[in-house]
Amino acid sequence: MLENCILLSLFAKENLGRMSEEQLNRYDRLINEPSNDWDIYYWATEAKPAPAELEHDVLAMLREFAKNRNREQRLRQPDLEYLFEHP
């Protein structure tokens, strides 16, 4: 689903590099366990509550990111070159 691709890829670019291993595991579970991509979108945008086992700091970070308080244009996924840049 395009909305999730944009939301999750931009969130990943901004946050994955500073997440702990535990947070990365929670993120992986969050994006891979649900069988319906719309569920992730609804949880991230707070349109529906998430299951208790997925209510954690990473979902809170995703929800805050989804609010887009800086009103950034988020029209497409980021280029993947950042994955190959050296810190």
pLDDT at 12 > cutoff 90: yes
Q: Tell me, yes or no, whether 19 lies in a domain.
A: yes
Contact 67, 49 (CB under 8 A): no
**Phi, psi of 61, deg, nearest 5:** -65, -45
Q: Tell me, yes or no, whether 49 lies in a domain.
A: yes
Q: Tell me, yes or no, whether 70 lies in a domain.
A: yes
The model's pLDDT over 50-85, given as tens digits with 9 standing for 90+, comes to 999 999 999 999 999 999 988 888 777 777 776 677
Contact 7, 68 (CB under 8 A): no
Q: Tell me, yes or no, whether 50 lies in a domain.
A: yes
Q: How many domains does the chain have?
A: 1
Note down the domain range covering 36.
Answer: 2-82
Q: Tell me, yes or no, whether 87 lies in a domain.
A: no
Q: What is the pLDDT of residue 79?
A: 73
